[in-house]
Structure 1
Amino acid sequence: MSLVDVHNEWDPLEEVIIGSIEGARVPVPGTDLFTIDYADFGSMDRIPSGPVPQQVLEQTREDLEGLCQALTNLGVTVRRPQDTDHAATVATPDWQTDGHYNYCPRDVLLTIGNTVIETPMVLRSRFLEPFAYKNLLLEYFDSGARWLSAPKPRLTDDIYDVTREPGHRLLDIEPAFDAANILRFGTDILYLVSDSGNERGWKWLQSTLGDAYTVHPCRDLYASTHVDSTIVPLRPGLVLLNPERVNDTNMPDFLRGWDKVWCPELEDIGFVGERPYCSTWIGMNLLVLKPNLVVADDRQPELIRTLEKHGVDVLPQRLTHARSLGGSFHCVSLDVRRTGTLETYR
C-alpha cells in the first residue's frame, strides 16, 4: 500500500517530513532572488548572501528536533531530508547560483492522494532541492506511490520583472510554482497566483490531476510567496483567515460557506539581520495534526486563545527564527500520510 496518502490539510497525521537547517544560506545575488524576495532592497548587491548566522542554525536545529520529538510522542512517523551541500554551484546553460536550504519541504514537494509531485520552483537556488528527498521518494515509489516531476523551468531572466507590481513579477512564460502555493480541501485544490506561482502553473497542475479535482486559481489574494500564512484550513467547515489579505472580494468561492476565524493581531517574535524574511503573519502558519488539534507558536497567546474558543486545541512549540528563515510549522513540514478518504467539502 502506498505510503503517500493525503487528501486534505486536517485528517489525522500519520507520517510527515520535517525539514533541516543544516548548511542553510542566502544564495548569491541573481535576477530571480532579487525579483522574488529582495526587490525592496532596491539593489541586487545589497542581498545578504552567505551562510545563516551560527546562532540561528544552532537554535533552529534544537527547535526542529523538539518538534520531531513532540510529533513522535504522538505516534507520528517523522522523516528528514538528507544533508546537501548548499554552497555547491548549481548551473544550467542559462545561469549559475548556489543553494538555499532544506528547511521547507512544503515548498518543493506536493502530496495529493497517493501522488507526490516535485514542483517547478521559482528560485534557481532551489532547482535541485528535490535531491535531498531522493531516498524518501524512491521508498514512497516502491510502496506504490505515484511519483511525478513537473517540467523543469528554464528560469531565464525574462520570466522575472522586478518593475511590475508585487504579485505580477513572475511572468507566464512557462509553468512555475512552489508547492506552498497550494492547499488541499479534498476534491478542491486552492492555487495561489502570485510571485511564487503563475497562471501556467495552475493549468499544468489541473491537467496533471485530472477531472477528480478542481484546481481553483486564486488571484489578488496575496502578492508575495506562498498561501499558508493567509488561509489555514482547521477542519471541515472551519478556516483561519488573514484579515489584512482576505476579504469578501477575493474570498475563494468554494470557501464562502465555511465558518471563518479571523486571525487576531500577532506578536512580533523578532528577527536577525537587516530585515525579516517574512511578516509577523508567519505566526498563523500552523500544522494541523487532526481536526481540533494544531501545532502553533507558544509566543502567540491571543491566537491560541482564539483557536481554543473555536474548539481547536494547541500543541505549543517554537521555531525561534521563523521570521528570519521565512517559515514556521506548516512550512517546515510535509504531510505524507493522513487517515481519511477523498471527499468534497463544499
Structure 2
Amino acid sequence: MIEATMPSEHISNFKPKTMFPPKLIAKAEAELDMFTSILEENGIKVYRPPKDIDWLAEDGYTGAMPRDGLMSVGNTLIEACFAWPSRSKEIEIGFTPILHQLALDPRVKIVRRPRDTFANTLFDDDATINGQWVINNSRPAFDTADFMRFGTTIIGQLSHVTNQAGVDWVIKNLPKGYKVEMIEVNDPNAMHIDATILPLRQGLLVYNPKKVTEQALRKHMVLADWELRPYPFTPENRVSPPLYMTSPWLCLNALVLDGQKMVVEANDLKSRQWFESLGMTV
C-alpha cells in the first residue's frame, strides 16, 4: 500500500511504530489551533477529538483526518471501512465522544461500519501495482475521502483504498434519493479524490488536468452544465514540511466554506491569486 501510493523518497519513513518528528507534530498542532480559530470566526462550530490519545500504543496512525473516515450525507453520517489495518480503530477511538454528542439529535442517523469488516484479507501475496489496485474485493473497503457530494449525486473513485465492495456498501447505506456515480481518473497512485476535483461554488469546479479530463467530468449529468476549469499551473514540490504521502497537487485540497470564502495554504500565493481571479475570497 505504501509503495503504491506514496512518493518513493518517503517510503522509508513509514514503518511500524515510527513516530512523526516531535517538532513537526508541534507545528501541526499550532496549525490546527489556527485553523480552528479561522472556522470559528466564520460562525462554524468545531468539534475536536481528545488530544491525549496514544496512537502508538493503539497501533494506530492518526486522528487528524475526519474527512477520511466520516461521510456526511444530509442528516446521515457514514463511517468508512478503512483498508489500512492501522486505521481500523481510528473513528472509534478518536471520534466516539463527538458521535455520541451528535446522536443526541433525533434527526441524525449514524451508520457505523460492521465491527467484523477488518479481516486482513484485502492484500494478495502477489499483488502488484502494474495496472491494478493493491487491494482486492474480499470485503468492503473505502475511505470517505474518495467521494464528493454534488447535491443528491455523490461522485467517487476506485483507488488503492476504495474497492467496488466498498462502493456497494456506501450505496446500500445512503439516505433515500441519493446516488453514487464513479468518475474515470488517470491516476495509478490514487488515494482520495480531493486533489483531483474541487467544487468552488454551484456551477464552478476546478480539476487536476493530470488526473481527469473535462470529457470524463461531462459524462456526469450533475456537471454537464458546470464551468470546468483546469488548474493552470504545475505545482512545485516543497521541502518543509515534507509532503510524505501526498503530491504538490495538495494545492487542490482546499476547504470551501460557503461558495464565496475558502481556506488555502498561506504560502501558496499562485493558488490564492488564481482562486481570487475566479471570484473567491481567500
Distance 1:54 1:269, change over 3 A: same
Q: Over residues 19-66 of structure 1, what are the superposed CA-to-partner deviations in whole Å (9 max), with x where a residue is unaligned?
A: xxxxxxxxxxxxxx5465459589x98744411001111111111111
Count of residues paired in the alignment: 272
Query: TM-score with structure 1 length normalisation?
Result: 0.72
More strand by share: 1
Which residue is equivalent to 2:238? 269
CA shift for structure 1 position 151: 2.8
Which residue is equivalent to 1:156? 120
In 1, Cα distance between equivalents of 2:34 and 2:170: 35
In 2, Cα distance between equivalents of 1:67 and 1:272: 17
Which residue is equivalent to 2:45? 77
Which residue is equivalent to 2:63? 102
Distance 1:261 1:86, change over 3 A: same
Match among 85, 91, 104 for residue 142 of structure 1: 104
Match among 200, 203, 223 for residue 234 of structure 1: 200
Which residue is equivalent to 1:88? 57
* Residue identity matched to 1:165: N
Q: What SS is found at the alignment partner of 2:145?
A: helix
Structure 1 residue 179 corresponds to structure 2 residue 148: no
In 2, Cα distance between equivalents of 1:166 and 1:233: 29
Structure 1 residue 217 corresponds to structure 2 residue 179: no
Match among 283, 286, 302 for residue 254 of structure 2: 286
In 2, Cα distance between equivalents of 1:269 and 1:41: 13
Q: What SS is found at the alignment partner of 1:147?
A: strand
* Residue identity matched to 1:74: N
Q: What SS is found at the alignment partner of 1:226?
A: coil
Q: What 5-or-longer segments of structure 1 have no aligned partner?
A: 1-32, 90-97, 315-346
Distance 1:75 1:38, change over 3 A: closer
**Structure with greater contact order relative to length (CA < 8 Å, sep ≥ 6):** 1
CA shift for structure 1 position 268: 2.8
Q: What SS is found at the alignment partner of 2:225?
A: coil
Q: Over residues 307-329 of structure 1, what are the superposed CA-to-partner deviations in whole Å (9 max), with x where a residue is unaligned?
A: 11211111xxxxxxxxxxxxxxx
Q: What 5-or-longer segments of structure 2 have no aligned partner?
A: none
Q: What SS is found at the alignment partner of 1:297?
A: coil
* Residue identity matched to 2:25: L
Of stretches 74-83 and 287-296 in structure 1, the one that deviates more from structure 2 is 74-83
Q: Over residues 246-304 of structure 1, what are the superposed CA-to-partner deviations in whole Å (9 max), with x where a residue is unaligned?
A: 1145325232321012213224332456x732100011111111112110112222211
Structure 1 residue 243 corresponds to structure 2 residue 209: yes
User: Would you say the 8 A contact 1:190–1:217 is kept in 2?
Assistant: yes
Query: TM-score with structure 2 length normalisation?
Result: 0.87
Match among 312, 315, 323 for residue 280 of structure 2: 312
Distance 1:39 1:167, change over 3 A: farther
User: Would you say the 8 A contact 1:172–1:200 is kept in 2?
Assistant: yes
Q: Over residues 77-115 of structure 1, what are the superposed CA-to-partner deviations in whole Å (9 max), with x where a residue is unaligned?
A: 1110123221124xxxxxxxx110111111111111101
In 2, Cα distance between equivalents of 1:60 and 1:210: 35
Structure 1 residue 57 corresponds to structure 2 residue 18: no
Distance 1:268 1:47, change over 3 A: closer
User: Would you say the 8 A contact 1:87–1:99 is kept in 2?
Assistant: yes
User: Would you say the 8 A contact 1:267–1:300 is kept in 2?
Assistant: no
